Amino acid sequence: MSPVFRESDLVETFTRSGGNGGQNVNKVSTCVILVHLPTGITVRCDTERTQGRNREIARARLSERLIEREQSLKDVARDAAERTRRQKRRPSRNARRRNVESKRRRGAIKAGRLGKNNDHE
């Protein structure tokens, strides 16, 4: 998988891992922390004993997260376009008929109330 980020967009720092691994993880900075500046996504990897392997894993995870983010943004845009298309669509013949019937019923109810109020005057 090719990376979806530029090297200039990354800030890479190294720290000590801790946990299992003995003297190596206590003395050597094998934990890799990657920050993607444009998005602010941070990935931390300290699963392996070597810094090089952790760098590979961290970059792969960052690439996956960026692809997921890009896909979710596309989904949101597609959903918004679909919603707009549905809102602009002309109502069906049955929907227009139901709307007119509903307005007639409501009008009849209001007319009935109006007649009751006129009786008291």
Instruction: Specify the number of domains making up the chain.
Output: 1
96, part of any domain: no
Summarize the confidence of residues 18-25 as an average pLDDT.
71
CATH code of 33's domain: 3.30.160.20
Q: What is the pLDDT of residue 68?
A: 93
Summarize the confidence of residues 62-91 as an average pLDDT.
94
116, part of any domain: no
66, part of any domain: yes
Q: Please, what is the average pLDDT of the chain?
A: 87
Does pLDDT of 95 surpass 70?
A: yes
Distant-in-sequence, close-in-space partners of 118: CB < 8 Å, separation ≥ 6: none
Q: pLDDT digit string (tens) for 41-64?
A: 999 998 888 889 999 999 999 999
44, part of any domain: yes
Domain residues for the domain of 54 are 1-88
Does pLDDT of 40 surpass 60?
A: yes
pTM: 0.65
Q: What is the pLDDT of residue 119?
A: 53
36, part of any domain: yes
Q: What are phi and psi of 46, to 5 degrees?
A: -140, 30
Does pLDDT of 22 surpass 80?
A: no
29, part of any domain: yes
